[in-house]
Amino acid sequence: MRWTLKPKPETSKIEALKEALQVDDIVAILLLQRGIETYDAAKTFFRPSLDHLHDPFLMKDMDKAVTRIETAISKGENILVYGDYDVDGTTSVALMSSYLKTRIDSVATYIPDRYDEGYGISYKGIDFAHDNDFSLIIALDCGVKAVDKIAYATEKGIDFIVCDHHRPGEELPDAIAILDPKREDCEYPYKELCGCGVGFKLISALASKEEQSVEELVEYLDLVATAIGADIVPMTGENRVLAYFGLQVINANPRPGMKAIITEVKKDELSITDVVFILAPRINAAGRMKHGNHAVTLLTETDFNLAAEYAIDINQYNTDRREADKRITEEALLQIEEKNEQDRFTTVVYDEEWHKGVIGIVASRLTETYYRPTLVFTKSGDKLAASARSVKGFDVYNALEACSEYIEQFGGHKYAAGLTLLPENYKAFKAKFEEVVKDTIESKLLTPEISVDLEINLNRIDNRLYRIIRQFAPFGPGNMTPVFMTQNVKDTGWGKCVGEDDKHLRFTATQTGTENIVSIAFGLGKKIDLVKNQKPFDIAYTIDENHWNGNVSLQLKLKDLKA
């Protein structure tokens, strides 16, 4: 691990913010690092409000989308809500369809089969719409690059409205409306919405025409918050506001499908981290192991007893997913070892038997292990399909673009993408991808980074500081949980390995003249020798609470420690 200490803001700015907010220097510095420099900016940050959301009609084509949907509603047309099979896609479809059903009965949903149709809009989906007299398709979390398929739909007399957040290609589809903040000609003030976020802006625009306020749409924000967490979009601006209120819905009055999952996992209050690691994997598991329709059915069910039955199935899909993910990861690691590919700049593995539904998770696991841009391939029909994952600071989408001569289709983001190619192009692609990454990646990016906000002494840590840091939530990219560093720490003498196979490390940290504070280091049991014999060492950590036997105390959650 390389530890990178963020630059300290100017002293004058620290003092001015301390004075304005009546806070200490630690809080002032953390806020300034997040671009918050004034009292008003801090008030907006600490007190998210629905008033902070932008007018949806600022988005390019929003007026066209609303006009077309209003026409469909007034004429009683059949509307098909189409979305991808991942969390962002299925929550988007649940959101849009459940809202439209409050306005019109003739609404149906369509999720493509991951294995039969693949990612995004499919010819099969368009044929389904044509065969069943759907005259309007609203596509969510996909469609911005589906030029040929939307042209095919037009030939069949079907109109398309696209709600996407992926980077458009050189040519936009000929749709009625394309809502995508990443369009170069779109002046919408916030560019980082997820697909479900774009969908929420559309229902906000539709609701405003019915003189409904955004407050009346809060019930849909449990879906939006789940998509924001799962899609790992920046937790800034509108995303943070939507996630903040969405978490309130999840914890106070979630839709029956969400409540059924939460009841199954038996957790009282969910943070955005819990959404990412508890809710999202279960919703995702349907599309990975069975079909994304199961997730939409769960998320749109209004009867809790039925939702509870669906949740049992969803949990089983998630159990199956975990087993497949574990097995395939082990096989992929063995393949890398056998081919002696540990020292490459990339990790590219392939097995035609691997389950297509979990290759994205396996790619993430391999990235954690070798910390290289990673691709995991499997057979998909007569082609090979892959999931790509990257390391912090390296744009894997651009790297794939540089290899496009060997690729049939690709799409995604800076850190995660998907692609298909012909089997005969696999070796040439693998060589080209290695070459592109080798020539463009900075060597330091191949070592995991811990970004440290601030160096402090242990005596600065108290309940008041922790209470304020908790108000920085919800956390995510662009607003991560503050990470601190403390030098010359010693263990009080009781440090030990804990957990299965002594995987974790637990000790009590102390500095001269400061109180002792319990510290837990998950996955760092091998570093036990650093804390023995009361030798000094440095720690990088976040501050957390430990709940034990009814007692609550502060503890440090270590990210790393070194001599």
**pLDDT band for position 515 (cuts 50, 70, 90):** confident
Mean pLDDT for the stretch of residues 288-304? 94
The more confidently predicted of residues 80 and 120 is: 80
Closest CA to 145 of 425, 403, 432, 397: 397
320 is a domain residue: no
Do 129 and 232 have their domain in common? yes
Residue 437, domain extent: 339-446
Q: Quote the number of domains for the chain.
A: 3
In the predicted structure, residue 268 carries a pLDDT above the cut 80: no
SS3 for 441-500 is CCHHHHCCEEEECEECCHHHCCHHHHHHHHCCCCCECCECCCCEEEEEEEECCCCEEECH
C-alpha–C-alpha distance, residues 70 and 77, integer Å? 10
C-alpha–C-alpha distance, residues 270 and 125, integer Å? 36
pLDDT value at position 338?
92
Q: Residue 235 sits in a domain of what CATH number?
A: 3.90.1640.30
Do 525 and 417 have their domain in common? no
pLDDT digits (tens, 9 = 90+) for 324-333: 999 999 999 9
17 is a domain residue: no
Average pLDDT, the chain: 94
Does residue 359 sit in helix, strand or coil?
A: helix
> Half-sphere exposure of residue 185, counting CA atoms within 13 Å on the CB side?
7
Q: Residue 416 sits in a domain of what CATH number?
A: 3.10.310.30
Closest CA to 376 of 395, 356, 392: 356
CB-based contacts of 437: which residues, under 8 Å, 6+ apart? Answer: 345, 346, 372, 373, 394, 399
Do 360 and 465 have their domain in common? no
pLDDT value at position 512?
80
C-alpha–C-alpha distance, residues 147 and 203, integer Å? 25
In the predicted structure, residue 413 carries a pLDDT above the cut 90: no
Alpha carbon distances (Å) from 302 to 254, 263, 307, 351, 523: 11, 16, 8, 41, 41
CB-based contacts of 491: which residues, under 8 Å, 6+ apart? Answer: 507, 508, 509, 510, 531, 532, 534
Do 420 and 509 have their domain in common? no
Does the reported pTM lie above 0.85? yes
C-alpha–C-alpha distance, residues 149 and 167, integer Å? 17
22 is a domain residue: no
pLDDT digits (tens, 9 = 90+) for 147-193: 999 999 999 999 999 999 998 989 999 999 999 999 999 999 999 99
In the predicted structure, residue 228 carries a pLDDT above the cut 90: yes
Q: Residue 488 sits in a domain of what CATH number?
A: 2.40.50.460
In the predicted structure, residue 363 carries a pLDDT above the cut 90: yes
C-alpha–C-alpha distance, residues 378 and 370, integer Å? 20
20 is a domain residue: no
Decide if 543 contacts 562 (C-beta within 8 A). no
Do 201 and 152 have their domain in common? yes
Mean pLDDT for the stretch of residues 499-510? 93
Alpha carbon distances (Å) from 329 to 286, 334, 388: 20, 9, 14
Do 518 and 543 have their domain in common? yes
In the predicted structure, residue 411 carries a pLDDT above the cut 90: no
**pLDDT band for position 205 (cuts 50, 70, 90):** very high
Beta bridge partners of 482: none
5 is a domain residue: no
> Half-sphere exposure of residue 246, counting CA atoms within 13 Å on the CB side?
28
Do 410 and 474 have their domain in common? no
pLDDT digits (tens, 9 = 90+) for 531-552: 988 899 999 999 999 888 888 8
